[in-house]
Amino acid sequence: MSDQAEVPLHRQCGAMEAHHRMLESDPSFRKNQEDLEGQVSRRMSMRLADMGEVRVTPYVINVVVHVVHNIPEQNISMSQIKSQIAVLNRDFRALNPDKSKVPPVWKGLTTNANIIFQLATKDPQGNPTNGVTRTKTTNALGFGADDSVKSNATGGKSPWNPNKYLNLWVCKMTGGLLGYAQFPGGSVSTDGIVINYKAFGTNGTAAAPFNLGRTATHEVGHFLNLRHIWGDTPDCSGSDLVDDTPNAQGPNFGKPVFPKVTCNNAPNGDMFMNYMDYVDDDAMFMFTAQQVERMHTTLDTTRASLVS
């Protein structure tokens, strides 16, 4: 039986909900985040002084996809999984053809993050694997942003060693959520990314307007320490901690028309085509240079063990 007629999908990310919960409950996570921000500040200062080293070789990350399903429809195909890995490899190397749609004023900021994602070929015990696990769950209602999908004990699948693998869970999600990620520095028992099976990859169960794989691109951004471009406040007071993304009042949805001016950011307005906004998949197509610096700092420090 299909559940396609349930809560309609709407660009909604649970990463900041999970982030604030962890800040309140885990003092070590708060300290780790503070330390990482210090590393980011030092790296940015070195870049501005033209003293920073530029990495040439790509960062390579091994991925394990945990498919948690209650009905056959949710047990997505290998083709759908591979289509999502292909999207990540295009988007994080700025090889996506739709980057041509970036307004001319920001084309020079569109940056190759130089990250390669590959499905794992060995499991934690060293045995051959296709990089996919499949778990039949009795949870017919779906999973929220409470990390329950990340544990065998709560109907999900416990992670492989997050210091060696990017754990990516695919499942039915409640409340119209498309996904959420854990920011760097949190518990290894819950580290990774969760994606709605209707917003994963480019074929199979992927449903328009979230069928171009950009939900995973957005969530990997959070996993590598990127914030939403509006800073998660509704009054222009927030910050995504990145100087080359204009301040924005709030999330943009659908397919905005350039320029979309808020927060006194005329004439160019919001950078709504950034992967860290809430627009439809076919309306987001770029990371900026300083967003890439934040991700690289994470991969050189807090998540260094993840790089193959």
Active-site amino acid positions: 219
Block residue for tokens 């210091």: 163
The encoded tokens of residue 204 equal 């199979």
The encoded tokens of residue 77 equal 């195909």
